[in-house]
Amino acid sequence: NAGVMQNPRHLVRRRGQEARLRCSPMKGHSHVYWYRQLPEEGLKFMVYLQKENIIDESGMPKERFSAEFPKEGPSILRIQQVVRGDSAAYFCASSPRADSNEKLFFGSGTQLSVL
Amino acid sequence: GESVGLHLPTLSVQEGDNSIINCAYSNSASDYFIWYKQESGKGPQFIIDIRSNMDKRQGQRVTVLLNKTVKHLSLQIAATQPGDSAVYFCAAITGGGNKLTFGTGTQLKVEL
């Protein structure tokens, strides 16, 4: 029973390029959450998705960032025209339900470095 | 809104001693709290949780205490081991759902 899988583990992009981060939730989980972690800081909520729906994107920057969780395949966090400030670790978590009884299980993250 | 903060950025303890990591939160409506452990290069790992209708919960070698009066919670690790070295985060949920607000973390260093 694989956990939350994220890829790539490390992603290097030059300023202006696009970054695509993938997250495959645990088997049976249909709720996905993306968090960003800057160096020596806690994780900050970005977006919450269910299959084919964005439920809460209150933590997403207004521009350049988008997320999707299609019916088939992994959830994708997409960052267009990356800037150095986007350099961070991006973590994905999944749960089978939306209520607060669930313990979120996190993936190992994608470390994005923008040159 | 909610902000969650920890008192110390770094805590050093001797192997075998007990560790206490503290956390303060700002929103009295927060009703669910979780402690996570994060090792270098890895994602947060669930340690223990507690609901606001409880003031203490115990797990294997870990205990979480919640003081709603002063909006404070702590994580106690008994007989700290080298493998406990990591950054520890408290996180809070307000009003249901799974949207976590994390603190900035405490680096626990276990000295042999």
Subunit contact B89:A42, Cβ cutoff 8 A: yes
pLDDT tens per residue across span B62-84: 999 999 999 999 999 999 999 99
Q: Say yes or no to pLDDT of B35 above 60.
A: yes
Q: Give, in degrees to the nearest 5, the angle at Cα B6 between B99 and B46.
A: 50
Closest by CA position to A98, among listed A41, A46, A33, A45: A33
Q: What percent of chain A has pLDDT over 70?
A: 93
pLDDT tens per residue across span A39-82: 878 899 999 999 889 999 999 999 999 999 999 999 999 999 99
Q: Say yes or no to pLDDT of B11 above 80.
A: yes
Name residues whose C-beta falls within 8 Å of residue B101's C-beta, 6 or more positions apart in sequence: A45, B2, B3, B4, B25, B30, B91, B92, B93, B94
Q: Say yes or no to pLDDT of B1 above 60.
A: no
Please give the pLDDT value at position A105.
83
Record the tokens describing residue B36, joined without a space.
């996570």
- AA identity, residue B96: G
Cα–Cα distance between A107 and A24 in angstroms, integer?
9
Record the tokens describing residue A20, joined without a space.
């695509």
With beta carbons less than 8 A apart as the criterion, state whether A33 and A17 touch: no
- Interface check for B34 against chain A (CB to CB < 8 A): the answer is yes
Please give the pLDDT value at position A57.
93
Please give the pLDDT value at position B29.
86
Which of A91, A99, A105 minimises the CB distance to B46? Answer: A105
With beta carbons less than 8 A apart as the criterion, state whether B91 and B103 touch: yes
With cut-offs at 50, 70 and 90, classify the pLDDT of residue B93. confident
- AA identity, residue A8: P
Q: Least CA distance to B9: which residue of chain A?
A: A40
